Amino acid sequence: ELKVEQNPLFLSMQEGKNYTIYCNYSTTSDRLYWYRQDPGKSLESLFVLLSNGAVKQEGRLMASLDTKARLSTLHITAAVHDLSATYFCAVDIDMNRDDKIIFGKGTRLHILP
Amino acid sequence: DVKVTQSSRYLVKRTGEKVFLECVQDMDHENMFWYRQDPGLGLRLIYFSYDVKMKEKGDIPEGYSVSREKKERFSLILESASTNQTSMYLCASSFGTGFGYGYTFGSGTRLTVV
Protein backbone atom coordinates (compact mmCIF):
# COMPACT_ATOMS: atom_id res chain seq x y z
CA GLU A 1 0.00 0.00 0.00
CA LEU A 2 1.38 3.38 -0.96
CA LYS A 3 1.99 5.63 2.00
CA VAL A 4 2.90 9.29 2.09
CA GLU A 5 3.95 10.36 5.55
CA GLN A 6 4.61 13.89 6.66
CA ASN A 7 6.22 14.93 9.84
CA PRO A 8 5.66 16.73 11.94
CA LEU A 9 1.88 16.94 11.59
CA PHE A 10 1.78 20.04 13.71
CA LEU A 11 4.46 22.63 14.17
CA SER A 12 4.42 25.76 16.25
CA MET A 13 7.44 27.96 15.81
CA GLN A 14 8.68 31.45 16.51
CA GLU A 15 9.07 34.05 13.83
CA GLY A 16 12.61 34.27 12.54
CA LYS A 17 13.42 30.60 13.11
CA ASN A 18 14.25 27.96 10.52
CA TYR A 19 12.56 24.62 10.26
CA THR A 20 12.05 21.67 7.93
CA ILE A 21 8.99 19.59 7.12
CA TYR A 22 9.67 16.06 5.92
CA CYS A 23 7.71 13.99 3.44
CA ASN A 24 8.50 10.28 3.09
CA TYR A 25 6.82 8.02 0.58
CA SER A 26 6.83 4.30 0.05
CA THR A 27 6.87 3.76 -3.71
CA THR A 28 8.95 4.74 -6.68
CA SER A 29 8.09 8.16 -8.02
CA ASP A 30 9.95 11.09 -9.48
CA ARG A 31 7.13 13.59 -9.26
CA LEU A 32 6.23 15.29 -6.04
CA TYR A 33 4.16 18.34 -5.25
CA TRP A 34 3.79 20.69 -2.34
CA TYR A 35 0.54 22.53 -1.67
CA ARG A 36 -0.48 25.18 0.80
CA GLN A 37 -3.90 25.48 2.38
CA ASP A 38 -5.08 28.46 4.39
CA PRO A 39 -7.88 27.89 6.94
CA GLY A 40 -11.23 27.47 5.23
CA LYS A 41 -9.67 27.72 1.80
CA SER A 42 -8.70 25.30 -0.93
CA LEU A 43 -5.25 23.97 -1.84
CA GLU A 44 -2.83 26.14 -3.75
CA SER A 45 0.11 24.70 -5.65
CA LEU A 46 3.51 25.73 -4.25
CA PHE A 47 6.15 23.55 -5.86
CA VAL A 48 6.42 20.89 -8.52
CA LEU A 49 9.49 18.63 -8.23
CA LEU A 50 10.04 16.44 -11.26
CA SER A 51 13.38 14.73 -10.85
CA ASN A 52 15.91 13.45 -8.37
CA GLY A 53 17.84 16.33 -6.86
CA ALA A 54 15.26 18.93 -7.89
CA VAL A 55 15.26 22.04 -5.75
CA LYS A 56 12.76 24.87 -5.98
CA GLN A 57 12.67 28.09 -3.99
CA GLU A 58 10.04 30.74 -3.52
CA GLY A 59 10.70 33.43 -0.97
CA ARG A 60 11.36 31.83 2.41
CA LEU A 61 10.34 28.36 1.26
CA MET A 62 12.59 25.83 -0.41
CA ALA A 63 11.61 22.33 -1.48
CA SER A 64 13.86 19.47 -2.52
CA LEU A 65 13.44 15.93 -3.72
CA ASP A 66 15.62 12.84 -3.20
CA THR A 67 13.98 10.04 -5.15
CA LYS A 68 16.49 7.43 -4.00
CA ALA A 69 15.67 8.10 -0.36
CA ARG A 70 11.98 8.66 -1.26
CA LEU A 71 12.13 11.88 0.66
CA SER A 72 11.17 15.47 0.06
CA THR A 73 11.77 18.37 2.38
CA LEU A 74 10.16 21.78 2.69
CA HIS A 75 12.52 24.16 4.42
CA ILE A 76 11.34 27.39 5.98
CA THR A 77 13.90 30.12 6.45
CA ALA A 78 13.36 32.96 8.95
CA ALA A 79 9.67 32.20 9.33
CA VAL A 80 7.10 34.99 9.25
CA HIS A 81 3.50 34.91 10.45
CA ASP A 82 2.12 34.93 6.89
CA LEU A 83 3.50 31.44 6.35
CA SER A 84 1.06 30.00 8.90
CA ALA A 85 -0.97 27.43 6.96
CA THR A 86 -1.27 23.70 6.38
CA TYR A 87 1.25 22.26 3.95
CA PHE A 88 0.62 19.07 2.03
CA CYS A 89 3.02 16.98 0.05
CA ALA A 90 1.66 14.73 -2.66
CA VAL A 91 3.29 11.96 -4.66
CA ASP A 92 2.41 11.23 -8.26
CA ILE A 93 2.14 7.58 -9.27
CA ASP A 94 1.33 6.29 -12.72
CA MET A 95 -1.89 4.38 -12.92
CA ASN A 96 -2.20 2.95 -16.44
CA ARG A 97 -0.37 6.05 -17.71
CA ASP A 98 -2.73 8.40 -15.97
CA ASP A 99 -1.81 10.52 -12.99
CA LYS A 100 -2.96 9.67 -9.56
CA ILE A 101 -1.68 11.73 -6.68
CA ILE A 102 -1.50 10.48 -3.12
CA PHE A 103 -1.53 13.14 -0.43
CA GLY A 104 0.11 13.21 2.95
CA LYS A 105 -2.03 14.19 5.92
CA GLY A 106 -0.64 17.70 5.97
CA THR A 107 1.54 19.67 8.36
CA ARG A 108 -0.22 22.43 10.21
CA LEU A 109 2.27 25.24 10.69
CA HIS A 110 1.61 27.93 13.27
CA ILE A 111 4.10 30.77 13.44
CA LEU A 112 4.07 32.82 16.58
CA PRO A 113 4.91 36.52 16.45
CA ASP B 1 -4.96 30.79 -15.43
CA VAL B 2 -6.55 27.41 -15.03
CA LYS B 3 -9.82 27.68 -13.28
CA VAL B 4 -11.69 25.01 -11.43
CA THR B 5 -15.04 26.32 -10.33
CA GLN B 6 -17.25 24.71 -7.72
CA SER B 7 -20.78 25.96 -7.85
CA SER B 8 -21.31 26.58 -4.13
CA ARG B 9 -18.99 27.64 -1.32
CA TYR B 10 -21.44 26.74 1.42
CA LEU B 11 -24.39 24.39 1.32
CA VAL B 12 -26.85 23.23 3.98
CA LYS B 13 -29.03 20.22 3.22
CA ARG B 14 -31.41 18.01 5.13
CA THR B 15 -30.85 14.34 5.88
CA GLY B 16 -32.21 12.18 3.08
CA GLU B 17 -32.01 14.87 0.40
CA LYS B 18 -30.31 14.19 -2.91
CA VAL B 19 -27.42 16.61 -3.23
CA PHE B 20 -25.51 17.65 -6.34
CA LEU B 21 -22.09 19.25 -6.16
CA GLU B 22 -20.92 20.69 -9.45
CA CYS B 23 -17.39 21.23 -10.67
CA VAL B 24 -16.35 22.86 -13.95
CA GLN B 25 -12.84 23.36 -15.33
CA ASP B 26 -11.91 25.54 -18.29
CA MET B 27 -8.51 24.19 -19.37
CA ASP B 28 -9.48 21.05 -21.27
CA HIS B 29 -8.08 18.80 -18.55
CA GLU B 30 -8.54 15.07 -19.03
CA ASN B 31 -8.67 14.10 -15.38
CA MET B 32 -11.03 15.22 -12.66
CA PHE B 33 -11.26 14.24 -9.01
CA TRP B 34 -13.50 14.61 -5.99
CA TYR B 35 -12.05 14.63 -2.47
CA ARG B 36 -13.48 15.21 0.92
CA GLN B 37 -11.44 16.76 3.68
CA ASP B 38 -12.07 16.24 7.37
CA PRO B 39 -9.98 17.34 10.36
CA GLY B 40 -7.31 14.77 11.20
CA LEU B 41 -8.12 12.61 8.17
CA GLY B 42 -6.50 14.64 5.42
CA LEU B 43 -7.81 14.42 1.86
CA ARG B 44 -9.68 11.28 0.92
CA LEU B 45 -10.43 10.44 -2.69
CA ILE B 46 -14.10 9.72 -3.40
CA TYR B 47 -14.22 9.28 -7.17
CA PHE B 48 -12.16 10.23 -10.19
CA SER B 49 -12.53 10.29 -13.93
CA TYR B 50 -9.95 10.05 -16.69
CA ASP B 51 -12.35 10.68 -19.55
CA VAL B 52 -15.90 11.62 -20.44
CA LYS B 53 -18.44 9.09 -19.23
CA MET B 54 -15.71 7.25 -17.40
CA LYS B 55 -15.52 6.99 -13.61
CA GLU B 56 -13.45 5.12 -11.08
CA LYS B 57 -14.04 4.60 -7.39
CA GLY B 58 -11.59 6.15 -5.01
CA ASP B 59 -11.00 5.20 -1.41
CA ILE B 60 -14.39 6.14 0.04
CA PRO B 61 -17.09 5.91 -2.67
CA GLU B 62 -19.89 4.60 -0.47
CA GLY B 63 -22.89 6.90 -0.42
CA TYR B 64 -21.69 8.86 -3.45
CA SER B 65 -21.96 8.67 -7.20
CA VAL B 66 -20.57 10.84 -9.99
CA SER B 67 -21.42 11.96 -13.48
CA ARG B 68 -19.18 13.16 -16.27
CA GLU B 69 -21.27 13.81 -19.36
CA LYS B 70 -18.97 16.54 -20.67
CA LYS B 71 -15.21 16.85 -20.41
CA GLU B 72 -15.31 20.08 -18.44
CA ARG B 73 -17.90 19.08 -15.86
CA PHE B 74 -17.68 16.52 -13.08
CA SER B 75 -20.59 16.23 -10.68
CA LEU B 76 -20.64 14.56 -7.29
CA ILE B 77 -23.99 13.20 -6.15
CA LEU B 78 -24.99 12.32 -2.63
CA GLU B 79 -27.88 9.94 -3.21
CA SER B 80 -29.37 10.37 0.25
CA ALA B 81 -27.43 12.82 2.36
CA SER B 82 -26.51 11.82 5.89
CA THR B 83 -24.97 13.78 8.74
CA ASN B 84 -21.68 11.90 8.41
CA GLN B 85 -21.31 13.43 4.96
CA THR B 86 -20.92 16.87 6.49
CA SER B 87 -17.50 17.87 5.21
CA MET B 88 -15.44 20.08 2.94
CA TYR B 89 -15.57 18.78 -0.63
CA LEU B 90 -12.77 19.62 -3.03
CA CYS B 91 -12.78 19.14 -6.78
CA ALA B 92 -9.51 18.97 -8.72
CA SER B 93 -8.43 18.52 -12.32
CA SER B 94 -5.21 17.74 -14.18
CA PHE B 95 -3.82 17.13 -17.66
CA GLY B 96 -2.87 13.59 -16.77
CA THR B 97 -0.65 11.08 -18.60
CA GLY B 98 2.54 12.01 -16.88
CA PHE B 99 2.70 15.72 -17.63
CA GLY B 100 3.65 16.32 -14.03
CA TYR B 101 1.68 19.49 -13.50
CA GLY B 102 -0.11 18.20 -10.47
CA TYR B 103 -3.67 19.10 -9.66
CA THR B 104 -5.54 22.37 -9.75
CA PHE B 105 -8.14 22.61 -7.03
CA GLY B 106 -11.44 24.38 -6.87
CA SER B 107 -12.29 26.66 -3.97
CA GLY B 108 -14.18 23.92 -2.13
CA THR B 109 -17.76 23.40 -0.98
CA ARG B 110 -18.45 23.19 2.72
CA LEU B 111 -21.49 20.96 3.03
CA THR B 112 -23.50 20.70 6.22
CA VAL B 113 -26.17 18.00 6.49
CA VAL B 114 -28.69 18.60 9.24
Cis peptide leading into B39, omega within 30 of 0? no
Q: How does pLDDT run across B59-82, given as a tens digit for each residue?
A: 999 999 999 999 999 999 999 999
Ranges of beta strands (E only) in A1-113 are 4-7, 10-14, 19-25, 32-37, 43-49, 55-58, 61-66, 71-76, 85-95, 98-103, 107-112
Number of CB pairs, chain A paired with chain B, less than 8 A apart: 58
Chain B: residue whose CA lies nearest to A45: B104
- Between the CA atoms of B26, B31, B34 and B37, what dihedral angle is there, to the nearest 10 degrees? -90
Residue spans of alpha helices (H) in chain A: none
pLDDT, residue A50, reads: 87
Q: What is the DSSP secondary structure assignment for residue A28, as one 8-state letter? A: -
Q: How does pLDDT run across B17-48, given as a tens digit for each residue?
A: 999 999 999 988 889 999 999 988 889 999 99
Whether residue A88 and residue B43 make contact (CB cut-off 8 A), yes or no, is: yes
Task: Check if A110 contacts B (Cβ < 8 Å).
Answer: no
Q: How does pLDDT run across A1-22, given as a tens digit for each residue?
A: 778 999 999 999 999 999 999 9
